[in-house]
Amino acid sequence: MSTKRILILFMLFILLALAACRPAGGAEPTAVPADAPTSESIIEPTAQPLATEAPTDELTAADCPAATADTHQLINAAHGFCFLFPANYDVFHTETGEVTLYVKSLLNTEAPLAVVRVTALDGRSIQEIVPDYPSEADLAAISFLTIDLGGAPATVLDILPGQDLNRRLFAVHNNQLVDIMIARIGDEYGEVGQQAEALYQTITESFRFIAVEPDAALVAGPECPTAGAGQVLYTNAEDGFCLLLPENYMVDDTLTTEMGTETAVFVESLMNTAAPKLFITVEPANGRTLEEVTTARQEEFADFGVMFSFGYMLDGVPANQFDQLPGQDLNRQVLLVHNDQFYSLTFVPDDPEMVAVYAEMQALYDLVLDSFSFLSQP
């Protein structure tokens, strides 16, 4: 064989090798036909990082995408990930590390819901960890996508049945399974479905894997809200909370009760009956749960047959509510327990017959519940 022929063959070999090493494209989803082979490499994304992925120990919380005017940061260094989420969402964080994004309440069906779970693989398959993960036969009939999630390949299953139709995303990284669920997604949900699509895009496009810090606290947006036009931020460091108030309201946080402290929120004077008032009491819970303090309040008003409603959330903490409790004026009480402290928020008056004052009370109530935040413990 001539030297020239050998040289040509060698150059062809080099070109083929370069083509095989070319990295995959960007994060655009790639559709996989329903009848495509369902090998283990498709069902369970490989734990090997992409060639373009930086090693996890080189990324920290400082490398997470910055918040914008419309988004907040969520940094879960204890489980090694971060992403951005819409600013109108709150975060519920369980002791196991599960993160739920919601609007106003976990029971609110007028907005999408997102849940992020991280589970150690420890040699198990996805089917062993996720009970409702489709079998190979079922997966073959599902139209699904593969995307890049923070540098790891991820499988997206769409649209799955459940309490609400949802989209599930599975990625394997550093021997951990990341499971993201977006609920109420699809054309049948109308505007809510469109919001769910936007929520999915915000999370997946900003998602990053970072170095694990086992004892790191969850960061989910700013500790206290930012005051808008006509609002002021009130911070009570002693009782560990902050919230927004209309700028014409005054605060007296020097009051005390038999059991703890009381903060009064009012216009001009506590004697002013032309404007609503808010009283926030904080006392030791002494190990009592939300259910126990709620039952005690119900027994206190047993003669009036009052009932409470549940499903409320203040800064990711569950709360119960009593409406139109008797007193000097009918009042609305929101109860919650956090860090073994019992918080009671009382809004006065809760009387629809007092039309003008009731409307202003409702506006104060909405602002306070939307903005109430707990301060980090020292």
Boundary of a domain, candidates 164, 193, 220: 220
Per-residue pLDDT tens for 300-310? 999 999 999 99
CA 107 to chain centre: 13
Of 17-31, 68-82, 211-225, 328-342, least confident by mean pLDDT is: 17-31
Instruction: Report the alpha-carbon distance of residue 288 to residue 299 in Å, rounded.
Output: 15
For position 301, what pLDDT does the model report?
Answer: 96
Please tell me which residue, 281 or 130, carries the higher pLDDT value: 281
Q: Quick one: average pLDDT of 103-118?
A: 95
Q: Indicate the pLDDT class of residue 247, thresholds 50, 70 and 90.
A: very high
Of 38-42, 189-193, 328-332, 371-375, least confident by mean pLDDT is: 38-42
Please tell me which residue, 158 or 295, carries the higher pLDDT value: 295
Pair 76, 214: CB distance under 8 Å:
no
Tally of CA atoms within 13 A in the half-sphere of 161 that contains its CB = 2
- Two structure tokens written together for 35: 């009848």
Give backbone dihedrals phi and psi of 252, rounded to 5 degrees, phi first.
-125, 105
Does residue 8 form part of some domain? no
Does residue 205 form part of some domain? yes
Task: Write the secondary structure of the chain as one string of H (helix), E (strand) and C (coil).
Answer: CCHHHHHHHHHHHHHHHHHHHCCCCCCCCEEECCCCCCCHHHHCCCCCCCCCCCCHHHCCHHHCCCCCCCEEEEEECCCCEEEEEECCCEEEECCCCCEEEECCCCCCCCCCEEEEEEEECCCCCHHHHCCCCCCHHHHHCCCEEEEEECCEEEEEEEEECCCCCEEEEEEEECCEEEEEEEECCCHHHCHHHHHHHHHHHHHHHHCEECCCCCCCCCEECCCCCCCCCCEEEEEECCCCEEEEEECCCEEEEEEECCCCEEEEEECCCCCCCCCCEEEEEEEECCCCCHHHHHHHHHHHCHHHCCCEEEEEEECCEEEEEEEEECCCCCEEEEEEEECCEEEEEEEECCCCCCHHHHHHHHHHHHHHHHHCEECCCC
User: Do 207 and 321 share a domain, yes or no?
Assistant: no
Structural domains of the chain, count: 2
User: Do 236 and 216 share a domain, yes or no?
Assistant: no
The CATH code of the domain that includes 280 is 3.40.1000.10
Does residue 60 form part of some domain? yes
Does residue 23 form part of some domain? no
Instruction: Tell me the whole-structure pTM to 2 decimals.
Output: 0.78
- Two structure tokens written together for 46: 């490989």
Q: Quick one: average pLDDT of 260-264?
A: 97
Closest by CA position to 362, among listed 376, 352, 377, 372: 352
Residue 122 has pLDDT above 60, yes or no: yes
For position 57, what pLDDT does the model report?
Answer: 53
User: Do 169 and 272 share a domain, yes or no?
Assistant: no
Boundary of a domain, candidates 179, 197, 220: 220
Instruction: Report the alpha-carbon distance of residue 81 to residue 333 in Å, rounded.
Output: 37
Instruction: Report the alpha-carbon distance of residue 203 to residue 80 in Å, rounded.
Output: 15
User: Do 214 and 236 share a domain, yes or no?
Assistant: no
For position 11, what pLDDT does the model report?
Answer: 38
Q: Indicate the pLDDT class of residue 2, thresholds 50, 70 and 90.
A: very low
For position 52, what pLDDT does the model report?
Answer: 38
User: Do 192 and 254 share a domain, yes or no?
Assistant: no
User: Do 267 and 166 share a domain, yes or no?
Assistant: no
Does residue 291 form part of some domain? yes
Boundary of a domain, candidates 168, 194, 220: 220
User: Do 199 and 242 share a domain, yes or no?
Assistant: no
Pair 265, 278: CB distance under 8 Å:
yes
User: Do 210 and 255 share a domain, yes or no?
Assistant: no
Q: Quick one: average pLDDT of 315-324?
A: 97
Widest Cα–Cα separation across the chain: 106
Does residue 80 form part of some domain? yes
Instruction: Report the alpha-carbon distance of residue 314 to residue 181 in Å, rounded.
Output: 23
Does residue 320 form part of some domain? yes
In what side-by-side order are the strands of the sheet with 308-314? 250-256, 261-266, 277-284, 341-348, 331-338, 317-325, 308-314
Q: Exposure of 213 by Cβ count < 10 A (0-12 exposed, 13-18 middle, 19+ buried)?
A: middle
Per-residue pLDDT tens for 21-78? 333 333 333 333 333 333 333 333 333 333 334 454 579 999 999 999 999 999 999 9
User: Do 158 and 37 share a domain, yes or no?
Assistant: yes
User: Do 215 and 250 share a domain, yes or no?
Assistant: no
- Two structure tokens written together for 179: 């499971």
Q: Quick one: average pLDDT of 140-154?
A: 87
User: Do 106 and 241 share a domain, yes or no?
Assistant: no
Residue-range definition of the domain harbouring residue 365? 231-374
For position 10, what pLDDT does the model report?
Answer: 38
Does residue 290 form part of some domain? yes
User: Do 250 and 350 share a domain, yes or no?
Assistant: yes
Residue 320 has pLDDT above 60, yes or no: yes
